[in-house]
């Protein structure tokens, strides 16, 4: 089972949008929102349809 260090490493390696020196945090925020759902077994497949 992954621990907190594994998640921190994975989140730090995410490709995020960068524009005019600003970073958009959309991917990390979305992942934080769906992790509890995945942990609860909500997802049947590995795909999340938005």
Residue 45 lies in a domain: no
Residue 49, domain member (yes or no): no
Name the residue range of residue 30's domain. Answer: 4-39
Write down the pLDDT at residue 5: 93
pLDDT at 23: 81
The tokens describing 28, both together, are 């990390």
Contact between 18 and 24 (Cβ < 8 Å) = yes
| Cβ proximity of 24 and 16 under 8 Å | yes
How many structural domains comprise the chain? 1
Q: Is residue 28 part of a domain?
A: yes
pTM: 0.52
* Contact of 37 with 43, CB cutoff 8 Å: yes
pLDDT tens-digit readout, 1-50: 788 899 889 888 888 888 888 888 788 888 888 889 888 988 888 777 76
The reply to whether 48 falls in a domain is no
pLDDT for residue 18: 86
Residue 14 lies in a domain: yes
Query: Does residue 16 lie in a domain region?
Result: yes
Q: How far is CA 35 from CA 19, 21, 42, in A?
A: 27, 28, 10
């Amino acid at each position: 089972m992954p621990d907190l260090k594994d998640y921190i490493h994975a989140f730090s390696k995410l490709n995020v949008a960068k524009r005019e020196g600003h970073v958009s945090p959309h991917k990390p925020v979305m992942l934080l929102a769906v992790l509890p759902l995945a942990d609860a077994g909500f997802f049947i497949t590995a795909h999340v349809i938005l």
